[in-house]
A and B are shown apart, each in its own frame.
Chain A
């Protein structure tokens, strides 16, 4: 079946540090891949997405590249801020859009000043 595995948290970084959150997936066909972010007390928000191999999604300084050969979609940011503290979820959808999302367990990021 379809599944998403992302690195265990929590992750604690200092401001301006480099961030990587690993995400790998198992899926039939060619899934779309997503990163969602959940700030404290709020609902999940779409951070970025990629719909085909070698696509790079980017938003708010975050990037992730759809790597079919390694079935990965790692999230990166060159310089994190305190305001980036949140829980990050990697997800996939196999019906072409955002239908039937399959989520990873989430990674909690804390950025200290």
Chain B
């Protein structure tokens, strides 16, 4: 199946700093990428949907100025958590879909904000 990578796999940062997470589709062109957040023992919650070259569509309750999403190419999307605070600590997962519409998931990034 198609491969999606995320980098970094884990990151620890100080409160008030910004963190960038990359999501790459390695062997296919992703017309759409999705960003999810997962709390311990909770389901994945969709944060936003991004299409290459256009602005991301955020789900209700997700602050777009806090979670900046860029989908500059068909193989790369980035999520930047700006001015991170401890409550932003979570597991962030991306997925990518191409023409077949099936979503392929990355392994996730563990963010810890001190």
Q: Which residues of A contact B (CB under 8 A)?
A: 4, 36, 41-46, 89, 97-106
Contact = CB atoms under 8 A, between A and B. Distances in A.
Contacts of A89: 43-44
B34 to A, nearest CB: 8
Interface of B: 1, 4, 32, 34, 41-44, 46, 49, 93, 95, 97, 101-108
B41 A105 contact: yes
Given A97-B102, A98-B97, A100-B46, 9 more contacts: A43-B93, A43-B108, A45-B1, A46-B102, A98-B103, A99-B49, A100-B49, A104-B43, A106-B43
Given A43-B4, A43-B107, A43-B108, A99 B43 contact: no
Contact of B103 (A41, A101, A104, A106): A101
A105 B43 contact: yes
B93 A44 contact: yes
B107 A101 contact: no
A60 B36 CA distance: 27
A103 B105 contact: no
Nearest to B101: A97
A36 B44 CA distance: 12
Contacts of A36: 105
A43 B43 CA distance: 14
A89 B108 CA distance: 15
A45 to B, nearest CB: 7
Contacts of A43: 4, 93, 95, 104-108
A26 B85 CA distance: 34
A41 B10 CA distance: 12
Nearest to B104: A43
B52 to A, nearest CB: 15
A43 B7 CA distance: 13
B25 to A, nearest CB: 12
